[in-house]
Amino acid sequence: MRLLSLRLIISLIVGITLVSSGFSYYEVLGEKRTLRSDLERRAALLGESLAGNVERSWNAGDKERSDRDLQRLVQRFGNREHLMGVVIYDQQGALVATTPELAKTLTVSPLVVTQAIAQNHEQSAFLKLGKVPVHILALPIRRKDEVLGGLAVVYDVSYIRAQSLLVWRQSFFRVVVQVFFIVLITLLIVRWSITGPIARAALWMRALRTGKISFQEVPDLAMFRPLAREVATMAESLSHARSAAETEARLRDAAESLWTADRLSVQLRTRLGDSHLFVVSNREPYMHWRDGKTLDVVVPPSGLVTALEPVLNACDGTWIAHGNGNADAETVDAYDRLRVPPDDPRYSLRRVWLTKEEEQGYYYGFANEGLWPLCHIAHTRPLFRASDWQHYQDVNRKFMAAVLEEIKNVAKPVVLVQDYHFALLPRLIKEKRPDARVAIFWHIPWPNPEAFGICPWQRQLVDGLLGADLIGFHIQSHCNNFLQTVDRVVESRVDWEHFSVQRQDHRTLVRPFPISVAFHDDQPAENNNHGLHYLERTALMRSLGVEATFMGIGVDRIDYTKGILERFLAIERFLEKYPSYQGKFTFVQIGAPSRTHIKRYHDLVAEVEAEADRINWRFQGGKWKPIVLLVRNHSHREIEPYYRAADLCLVTSLHDGMNLVAKEFLASRVDESGVLILSQFTGAARELRDALLVNPYDIDQTAEAIRAALEMEPEDKQLRVRRMRKEIKEHNIYRWAGKLITELCELRLDAPEEVHEKSRASVSVA
C-alpha cells in the first residue's frame, strides 16, 4: 500500500506540473501578445501625432531653423513611459533630429525606417539595439506627394520580458501550492474511500476464511461497485464450499450418505465424463422483462426450475427452453444463447422462439387443455383440436432442431427432456442422433389406459416417449399405468420383470424417481425457538390486517387440480362444527394466477375469490376473518415466513404427480413443529406417511384433520415432522438428479444390428 501511495504521489506531482506548465505557457504567450498589442497601439497613436507635427515643422528652405525646431519637437515627446526616444531622418537616411538616449545608437537609419521611406508606408519591427530589446515604429514624412524623410518612434520592450518572467514565477508558486493541496486531498480520499474499504474487505475476507462471519455480512464496498458483486459471489461460493466440506466431513464421521450439491457435482462429472448434459423444458429458468428503460431479470415461480437448476449448476450444462420474456431477445447472442445465473454464470441458456399461434396451440391448447386434464382426471373435460395437435408437432420439431444444433459437436450427449410438453421429442432426437442418451421425466400423473385412451393421438404420443432410453415418473403406480398403456396402444414387448419396453430395435427403461426439494439444515440454532415463530406469525397477521391465534397456510397455482375450492369448504365446515375456533383460526391462501388465457383457469380465479368472500362474509367479525386470499405471484423468500409461522399446511390436490409444496413446508420447519395435512391423491403421500392423509373430496374428513392438527400434542407434532424431514433430507433434489442421470449414463446403447441379432436369436431358441 505504501508503494501504491508513493507511485500515486509522484504521478500526481508530475502530471499536475506538466498540465499547469502547459497552461502557464499559454498564459505567458497571451500576456506577451496583449502587452505587444498595447505597445503597438500606443506607438501608432504617438507616431501619428508626431508625424503631423514634423511635417508642419519641416522647412526645406531654412534647414538650420528646421533642424532646431525638429530637435525641440523630439525632445518634448521623449519622456513618455517606456519610450526610449524619437529619431528623424531625411530622405537619404541621414540623421536630422534625435533624443539624447538614441544619439549614439541610431546615427544611421535602420532598415525599418529605410523601408518606410522607400515604400511610403508605415513599418514596425521588434529588434535589439545592442542588448536592449526595442520596438521601432517607422512612418514616412510627407509634404503633398513628396516623401521628405522618416520618423522612428523607439520603445524599450524589456518590461514585456520582465512581466512574462513575473507570470512564470506566479505560475510556479501556484503550481507548488496546487500540487501540495491536491496530493494532500487525494491521499485523504484514498485513505477514506479506497484504502479503508480495502482494509475492511481484507479483514472481512480473513474473518470469512476463518469462519467467524457469514457471507451475508458484506462490508461497504460502494466505491468498488463493479467488483462488489463478484466479491460477494466469491464469498458466497467460499461459504458454500466451507459448509459443503463441513457437511461432508460430518457425514463421513456419521457414516451417512446424504446427497449434497457438491456430491451431485462430483457424481455428474464422473458419470458424464467427456459428455455434456442438455436439459429441455418449456419454461426457462430466467426471463428478461423490460419496463420502460428498466430491464429486470425474473425467476419464474416453478418447482421445475427449483429442481433442475442445481443439476445445471453442477455440470455447466445447457438449458434449452422457450424464450417468453418481452426482452429475452435483447439479451442473447447471435446464437440465441446467454450464460446464467446473471450474478454467477455457471451454465448456458438456449432460447427457442415461438409465434403467438404456436404458443396458443401447443402450450395453452394441446398441452394444457388436452394432456393436463387428461392425465389428472380432475373432472375437467380434455379438449383435443386438430390445429392444436399440429402446433404441438411443429413445436416439438422446432425444439428438436435446437437440440440437434446444440449437440452437433458433442460426442455421446446426454439429453434430459422435461414433462408432457415434449412427448414427441425423444423419438425425434434419437432418430437423428442414435448415440445420444435421452431421458424424459414426466412430472404429472400418468392415468390408467382407459382414461388415456380418450386422446385421439395416443399412439403417436406413446411412440414418441418410447424413443427415450429412460422414462421417469414420480411413483411406481404411474410407471405401471404407462406400461399398461404401452401394452394396449403400440406393438411392443413389455418386460414387467425389468420394467422396460422393447419396441422395434430400441429398449426403453421405465423407472420411478420421486422428485424433491433442496434441504438446507444449516440454519442457526436460535431459529429453532418456537417463540420466534410465534412472533413471526404475529407480525404476518398484523401485516395482513388480521388478528388470529392460529394460522394455516396453503400455497398453490390457482388450478382446478389443486382442490382449493374443496379446501375452503373444509375450512367452512370446520368452523361450523367447532365454533370455538371462530375468531381464532385464519387460513392464508397464497394463490398464483396461472394460464389465465384459458377460460377454465380465468373462471376459476373468480370462483376462488367468490368462495373466499362468501365464507368471510358468513363468519368474519372485527379484525378477524377466516380466509385471507393473496392472488399474485410470490417468491420463495416471501413464502418462507408463512411456512415457518403456520400451525398447519393444507395440501388438498385432487390429483398430483408429487406436489413439492408439502416438502417445502416441512423443509422450512427447522423448529420441528407444524402439521402437514396431505391429500392421499398426491405422489408425496407415498413418502410422507406421518402427514394427516385425507380424501380432499371428503369435506368432513378434512375438517376433522384441521381440528386434529390444531389440538395435536407438541411431542406428537415434533415426532411426525422430524421423521418426515429425515425422509426429505435423505431423498432430496440432489439425490433425485443424481440417481436419474446415473441410471441414464449406465444404460447400454445397443446398435440396431445388435438388437436385430438378439431378436433373431430369441426366435430360433423358441
Quick: pLDDT tens for 701-748. Answer: 999 999 999 999 999 999 999 999 999 999 998 899 889 999 999 888
User: Which of 222, 58, 229, 255 is closest to 151 using CA atoms?
Assistant: 58
Residue 528 phi, psi dihedral angles, 5° rounding? -80, -5
Asked whether residue 530 is assigned to any structural domain, the reply reads: no
Residue 203 reports pLDDT greater than 70: yes
Asked whether residue 471 is assigned to any structural domain, the reply reads: yes
User: Which of 506, 633, 644, 457 is closest to 558 using CA atoms?
Assistant: 633
Element spanning 389, H or E: helix 386-406
- The confidence score (pLDDT) of residue 178 equals 80
Whether residue 413 is found in the same domain as residue 497: yes
How far, in Å, CA of 18 to CA of 23, rounded?
Answer: 9
Whether residue 579 is found in the same domain as residue 438: no
How far, in Å, CA of 242 to CA of 236, rounded?
Answer: 10
**What is the distance between the terminal CA atoms of the chain, rounded to a whole angstrom?**
85
Single residue among 162, 197, 228 that ends a domain in this structure: 162
Single residue among 496, 512, 528 that ends a domain in this structure: 512
Residue 574 CA, chain-centre distance (Å), reads: 46
User: Which of 117, 73, 76, 69 is closest to 94 using CA atoms?
Assistant: 117
Average pLDDT over residues 128-149: 84
pLDDT more than 90, % of the chain:
51
Single residue among 512, 532, 557 that ends a domain in this structure: 512
Average pLDDT over residues 233-259: 60
- The confidence score (pLDDT) of residue 39 equals 84
- The confidence score (pLDDT) of residue 329 equals 94
Instruction: State the residue for C-alpha cell 523607439.
Output: 154
Q: How many domains does the chain have?
A: 3
| Residues β-bridged to residue 552 | 587, 648
- The confidence score (pLDDT) of residue 199 equals 73
Q: Which residues contact 506 (CB under 8 A, 6 or more apart)?
A: 430, 466, 467, 755
Asked whether residue 669 is assigned to any structural domain, the reply reads: yes
Asked whether residue 185 is assigned to any structural domain, the reply reads: no
Whether residue 285 is found in the same domain as residue 156: no
The three state secondary structure string of 613-639 is HHHHHHHCECCECCEEEEECCCCHHHH
Residue 372: other Cβ atoms inside 10 A:
20
Residue 230: other Cβ atoms inside 10 A:
12
**Average pLDDT value over all residues in the chain:** 86
Residue 766 reports pLDDT greater than 50: no
Please state which of the ranges 34-43, 307-316, 417-426, 597-606 shows the lowest mean pLDDT. 307-316
- The confidence score (pLDDT) of residue 312 equals 86
33-42 own/partner pairs: CB under 8 Å, 24+ apart: 35/159, 35/160, 35/163, 36/126, 36/135, 36/157, 36/160, 39/82, 39/135, 39/155, 39/157, 39/160, 40/124, 40/135, 40/137, 42/155
Asked whether residue 18 is assigned to any structural domain, the reply reads: yes
pLDDT band for 668, please (50, 70, 90 cuts). very high
Asked whether residue 752 is assigned to any structural domain, the reply reads: no
Cell of 203: 479483514
Residue 284 reports pLDDT greater than 70: yes
- The confidence score (pLDDT) of residue 576 equals 97
Whether residue 558 is found in the same domain as residue 506: no
Whether residue 467 is found in the same domain as residue 548: no
Instruction: Give the CATH number for residue 703.
Output: 3.40.50.2000
Element spanning 439, H or E: strand 437-441
Residue 220: other Cβ atoms inside 10 A:
11
Judge whether 692 and 414 are in contact, CB under 8 Å. Answer: no
User: Which of 605, 607, 626, 623 is closest to 615 using CA atoms?
Assistant: 626
Asked whether residue 142 is assigned to any structural domain, the reply reads: yes
pLDDT band for 264, please (50, 70, 90 cuts). confident
Residue 122 CA, chain-centre distance (Å), reads: 76
- Sequence-ordered strand ranges (E) for 25-173: 83-90, 95-98, 123-129, 132-143, 146-156
pLDDT band for 144, please (50, 70, 90 cuts). confident
Whether residue 495 is found in the same domain as residue 555: no
Residue 232 reports pLDDT greater than 70: no
User: Which of 70, 78, 69, 76 is closest to 97 using CA atoms?
Assistant: 70
- The confidence score (pLDDT) of residue 664 equals 94
How far, in Å, CA of 664 to CA of 646, rounded?
Answer: 13
- The confidence score (pLDDT) of residue 665 equals 96
Judge whether 430 and 506 are in contact, CB under 8 Å. Answer: yes
Domain that holds residue 698: 540-731
- Residue 167: exposed, middle, or buried by beta-carbon count in 10 A (0-12, 13-18, 19+)? middle
Asked whether residue 600 is assigned to any structural domain, the reply reads: yes
Whether residue 565 is found in the same domain as residue 484: no
Taking only the tens place, the pLDDT of each residue in 498-553 is 999 999 889 999 999 999 988 876 554 444 555 556 678 889 999 999 999 999 99
Do the bridges between strand 648-651 and strand 550-557 make them parallel or antiparallel, or are there none, so unpaired? parallel
Whether residue 411 is found in the same domain as residue 488: yes
- Of residues 526 and 576, which shows the higher confidence score? 576
- The confidence score (pLDDT) of residue 256 equals 55
User: Which of 94, 98, 68, 67 is closest to 83 using CA atoms?
Assistant: 98
Judge whether 444 and 419 are in contact, CB under 8 Å. Answer: yes
Residue 31 reports pLDDT greater than 80: yes
- The confidence score (pLDDT) of residue 422 equals 98
Whether residue 434 is found in the same domain as residue 561: no
- The confidence score (pLDDT) of residue 170 equals 82
Q: Which residues contact 91 (CB under 8 A, 6 or more apart)?
A: 117, 147, 148, 149
Whether residue 552 is found in the same domain as residue 683: yes
Average pLDDT over residues 134-145: 84
Whether residue 281 is found in the same domain as residue 337: yes
Instruction: Give the CATH number for residue 86.
Output: 3.30.450.20
- The confidence score (pLDDT) of residue 309 equals 82
What region, left, alpha or beta, does residue 284 occupy, with left being phi > 0 and alpha being psi -120 to 50 degrees? beta
- The confidence score (pLDDT) of residue 525 equals 41
CA dihedral 306, 307, 310, 314 (to 10 degrees): -160
Whether residue 548 is found in the same domain as residue 502: no
